[in-house]
């Protein structure tokens, strides 16, 4: 039965550290679809039919990619499983251009967050959170999971991140001071919860809470928005941190490679290619790269 094979496949991959929440759901649906057509082995025709039910080409490619990987696993022991061709081309999704904040926009955003609504701990919570995201490049999910014990003299301990790895994020002394000022007010508010950031309900913040507060602050400072323009989101603060860090990259092939590897590790990327993506996604950085290449080609000092 394909359903049993899916569960076996997911168990093996999860034992290797993969979570596979959405991918697991997709494969279970494929197994049900196949068995409804009395197909108990992976069949190329059935896989392509099922993948083709998705709305977009990207979603179709993603579905078929998961089935192809699943089929490779099964064929190691049973050659009767077919290996579907990747007819929907690559499953690679074009990432939207990141919104990059200026230093002045970040200052205004943090200030707006401290003024949006009635005076309360909420204002200090979001202004501190946005400032922390801007100066550390943390993911929103990582920041809202922080607990008291994660604040160490050496920085923030980010536990079980996106790829189940811990990492230490250094904090500048000004960021440490700002976080401590917030905690002096926050600790008495919900003394039995040790999450750093909490809502007025005295519970840990949710991602939706952060997104709502962010939209309010963005609207308040009047950031330019419109069709075809990058959209500012809380994750834009992480994008901005990464781009600013890349802008300080030293010259020299060896220096650049070490800088990229260090930044990739700091950000918690699973692949260094995720860090290199910022080079092609940010016009200012692409202009710098083009200028340096032109200087190199012309034999001029960069």
Catalytic residues: 139, 162, 235, 238, 269, 278
Per the structure block, which two tokens stand in for 68? 């192809």
Q: Are 14 and 42 in contact (CB under 8 A)?
A: no
Q: By three-state DSSP, how is residue 151 classified?
A: strand
Angle between helical axes of 272-281 and 283-298 (0-180°, round to 10)? 90
Helices (H) and strands (E) in the chain, counts: 13, 3
Half-sphere exposure of 174 (CA within 13 A, CB side): 4
Half-sphere exposure of 266 (CA within 13 A, CB side): 19
Q: Which of 124, 270, 265 is nearest to 197 (CA)?
A: 124
Q: By three-state DSSP, how is residue 158 classified?
A: strand
Q: By three-state DSSP, how is residue 41 classified?
A: coil
- What's the CA gap between 24 and 275, in Å, rounded? 27
List strands edge to edge, sheet with 151-152. Answer: 151-152, 155-158, 167-169
Q: Are 95 and 236 in contact (CB under 8 A)?
A: no
CA distances, 179 to each of 7, 60, 125, 225 (Å): 44, 45, 10, 31
Q: Which of 274, 202, 232, 237 is nearest to 106 (CA)?
A: 237
């Amino acid at each position: 039965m394909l359903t049993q094979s899916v569960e076996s496949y997911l168990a093996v991959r999860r034992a290797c550290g993969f979570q596979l929440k959405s991918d697991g759901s997709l494969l279970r649906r494929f197994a049900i679809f196949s068995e409804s057509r009395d197909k108990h082995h992976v069949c190329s025709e059935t896989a392509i039919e099922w993948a083709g039910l998705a709305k977009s080409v990207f979603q179709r490619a993603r579905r078929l990619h998961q089935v192809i990987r699943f089929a490779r696993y099964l064929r190691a022991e049973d050659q009767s499983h077919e290996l579907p061709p990747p007819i929907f081309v690559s499953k690679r999704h074009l990432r939207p251009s990141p919104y990059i904040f200026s230093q002045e926009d970040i200052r205004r955003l943090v200030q707006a967050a401290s003024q949006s609504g009635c005076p309360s701990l909420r204002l200090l919570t979001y202004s501190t959170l946005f400032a922390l995201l801007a100066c550390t490049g943390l993911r929103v999910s990582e920041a809202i999971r922080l607990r008291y014990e994660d604040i160490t003299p050496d920085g923030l301990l980010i536990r079980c991140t996106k790829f189940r790895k811990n990492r230490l994020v250094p904090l500048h002394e000004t960021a440490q001071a700002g976080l401590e000022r917030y905690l002096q007010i926050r600790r008495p508010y919900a003394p039995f919860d040790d999450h750093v950031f909490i809502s007025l309900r005295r519970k840990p913040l949710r991602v939706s809470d952060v997104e709502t507060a962010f939209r309010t602050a963005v609207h308040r400072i009047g950031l330019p928005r419109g069709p075809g323009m990058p959209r500012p989101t809380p994750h834009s603060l992480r994008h901005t941190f990464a781009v600013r860090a890349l802008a300080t990259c030293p010259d020299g092939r060896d220096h650049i490679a070490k800088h990229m590897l260090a930044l990739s590790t700091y950000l918690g990327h699973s692949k260094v290619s995720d860090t290199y993506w910022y080079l092609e996604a940010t016009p200012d950085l692409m202009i710098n790269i083009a200028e340096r290449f032109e200087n190199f080609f012309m034999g001029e000092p960069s």
